[in-house]
Amino acid sequence: MKSLRVGSLEAKFGRIELEFGLMVESFEVYGGEAAADLNPFALYLKQPGTAKAVVTEQAIANLLTKQAPGGLKDFQVSISGGLIYVEAKAQIVVTIPVKAVCTLEIEDGKRLMVRLKQVDVMGGGAKNLVEGQLAKINPIFDAGDLPIDVRLETVEADAGLVVLHGIVVGV
């Protein structure tokens, strides 16, 4: 079997659409020494590497629009200060504005979950719609969908971006 030694590894993937519809703006992988088998191709890192994924607020709004249950529409998303702010319109009997504030939480080092922190609506029915929407899109990001084995470590939400940092445990 042919193989090579690799002194360092750096790969950047752009605009990756995950299976359930989320567009990841960029996914970067960095590592030190590695060995590569050529046929079939396999890469083995000597030490764990690092990974970074970036998701935009527009990508989250697009995902919400695609996955929206009956009654919620016109999503607008903004990300700042560690929070995701979502505005939408709920059609119950009349159209009412819905505003939600969400946090992000890494679960089991693999999944990024959106958690409802606060919802501002006129009436309880729309709150149930928002909670139902979150149940439908969670996890919003699953490292298991990537071709590289990554353990998610931290998440930042600011300046219109969600940035995930992780450790590459296998390639």
pLDDT at 108 (0 to 100): 97
Which H or E run includes 66? helix 57-67
159 Cβ contact list (under 8 Å, min separation 6): 79, 80
Percent of the chain with pLDDT over 90: 58
Strand-pair partners of 13: 27
- 13-22 per-residue burial string, b: 16 or more CB within 10 A, e: under 16: eeeeebeeeb
Instruction: Please state the rounded mean pLDDT for residues 18-32.
Output: 93
pLDDT tens digits, one per residue of 96-114: 888 999 999 999 999 999 9
The neighbour count for residue 7, using CB atoms within 10 Å, is 7
Instruction: Please state the rounded mean pLDDT for residues 38-42.
Output: 80
Instruction: Please state the rounded mean pLDDT for residues 77-101.
Output: 90
Band the pLDDT of 1: cuts 50, 70, 90: confident
pLDDT at 86 (0 to 100): 93
Percent of the chain with pLDDT over 70: 95
The neighbour count for residue 79, using CB atoms within 10 Å, is 23
Residue type, 5: R
Place of tokens 């042919």: 2
Mean pLDDT of the chain: 89
Please tell me which residue, 54 or 132, carries the higher pLDDT value. Answer: 54
The Cα-based distances of 13 to 65, 87, 107 in angstroms read 25, 30, 24
Asked if the model's pLDDT at residue 171 lies above 70, the reply is no
Asked if the model's pLDDT at residue 83 lies above 90, the reply is yes
Please tell me which residue, 145 or 105, carries the higher pLDDT value. Answer: 105
pTM (predicted TM-score):
0.88
